[in-house]
Amino acid sequence: MATPTVPTGYNIGHYQNAFNLIPSDSATIPDPKNILGTGNSDGSTVAANKLIDNTVDFVKLGVQVGATVYNLQAGAASNVTAVAENELTLDEDIFTVVNQFYGVANNSAISGADAIWTGTGGDINGITKQGLGILIPSVPANTILPISFLKVYATDTTASGMIALFLA
């Protein structure tokens, strides 16, 4: 793995948690403290804009409308618009084949990444935790951006292999 480029005076040791960031035009970057669980979508049923898992009770799990769902195999993210026992309705159709690995997390006031590491350089388009739209052009590979992002949009983001970093 390449050594990250860290801005002068910035301590990489402050970060206590991280996960692969999936850019999405709708989904918020969830805080790892809010992750409710992971699983596999149903092995026999696919429906548009749905996550179906007959082994999980999403209501008892505590999934809320507005939660973020990551399809970790497809590299896609979406927001929950309705919750039922074994089914989540999503604002984007990210489960188009059966048996895909997912993660689900409720969003809160602490949602969003505290910084982003870029694996492959490029542009990053997003919105900060303070609600400001920002497009950062030509971010070099292996760079830590100490900017608090609430969302990183798929549209106009060309950087890839990004990792969301979180403070304690």
Residues 91, 118 share a domain: no
Task: Write the CATH number for 58.
Answer: 2.40.10
The per-residue pLDDT for 3 is: 52
**Phi and psi at residue 146, in whole multiples of 5°?**
-80, 55
Burial 92-130 (b: 16+ CB within 10 A, else e): bebbeeeebebbbbbbeeebbbbbbbbbebbebbbbebe
Give me the tens of pLDDT residue by residue for the chain, a chain 168 residues long. 455 555 544 555 678 888 889 999 989 998 888 889 899 998 788 999 999 999 999 999 999 999 999 999 999 999 999 999 999 999 999 999 999 999 999 987 667 899 999 999 999 999 999 999 999 999 999 999 999 999 999 999 999 999 999 987
What is residue 30's DSSP assignment?
P
Residue 119 and residue 161 in one domain: yes
Output the pLDDT for position 1. Answer: 44
pLDDT at 91: 94
Residue range(s) defining the domain that contains residue 93 = 34-105
Q: Which of 106, 104, 119, 98 is nearest to 69 (CA)?
A: 104
Instruction: For residues 41 and 77, state if they share a domain.
Output: yes
- 148 in the same domain as 117: yes
N residues, the chain: 168
Q: Could you give the number of structural domains in the chain?
A: 2
